[in-house]
Amino acid sequence: MALPWLHRAELVVFAAAFLAGAVVAVAVFRTQGSFKGQCPVYGTAGWNSSALSLSSSSPPSLCYFVAWVSGLLALYCLLLLFYWSYSSCLEDSHRSPLGLRISLGLSAAAIFLVLVSSCILRFGTNSLCASIMRLQIVASCSEAQKLPWVPPGPGLHFYSTLYSAEASSWVSLVLWCLLLALQLLQWKREAPPFRPLERGDPEWSSETDALFGARSPHS
């Protein structure tokens, strides 16, 4: 049984959200690994006349939060892609109303988590770059990548990596909002239309009997 076109469009967006989330997770883990496990977002850079160093850093859990949120959401998208790709080959492939409501709740939670992660990356990277610019040794934050760092040494592409993570995180936020919109549209289309009760409906008879008492057949 083929999936409805709205559901197929949802799966396409899930695939894009998987890629965006994976990029964020890999970029954040890579940057944190370059700083020997330290979290550079909201950090402060120092200069010792020959190299830059991360004089203060955020708790590692802050970077772990961003990376794990993005990674787990990417895994969730991947599992859904595999599940519905397999289910579409079966005759009884259909998402129940309860499953759709659960998907709506998960998408709303994902939007909140991705928004928090995006703000952490945005303002945390800006804070780190502001501390570098206060040293007045480079004209831009990207130029600081060309200077040696202690650790790990020259060639630390922290700004490019964090910028890629931030951009992918905002893309992921847009994709999750689109997913929520598609799911709301499906929920609206599958919800039964409201129709007021009429005299011939069994519900009308039961309501009037409860209020006025059952009428005899000859009345």
The residues that bridge with 52 in the sheet, in sequence order, are: 47, 149
Domain membership flag for residue 133: yes
**Sign of the four-CA dihedral 52, 53, 56, 59:** positive
Query: Residue 5 and residue 49: Cα distance in Å, rounded?
Result: 61
What is the reported pLDDT for 210? 47
* pLDDT by position in tens, the chain (length 219): 456 777 788 889 999 999 999 999 999 999 988 888 889 999 999 888 788 888 888 999 999 999 999 999 999 999 988 887 777 766 556 677 887 888 899 999 999 999 999 999 999 999 999 999 998 888 888 888 888 888 765 557 888 999 999 999 999 999 999 999 988 988 887 655 444 545 555 544 544 454 455 455 454
Q: What is the pLDDT of residue 92?
A: 57
Instruction: Give the per-residue pLDDT at 54.
Output: 87
Determine, yes or no, domain membership for 94: yes
Q: Which domain holds residue 9?
A: 5-212
Is residue 86 situated within a structural domain?
A: yes
Predicted pLDDT of residue 60? 93
Whether residue 129 is contained in a domain is answered as yes
Using a 10 angstrom Cβ sphere, with 0-12 exposed, 13-18 middle and 19 or more buried, the burial of residue 28 is buried
Q: How many domains does the chain divide into?
A: 1
Q: Is 43 among the domain residues?
A: yes
Within-domain flag for 217: no
Q: Please say whether the beta carbons of 73 and 114 come within 8 A.
A: yes
Q: Is residue 218 part of a domain?
A: no
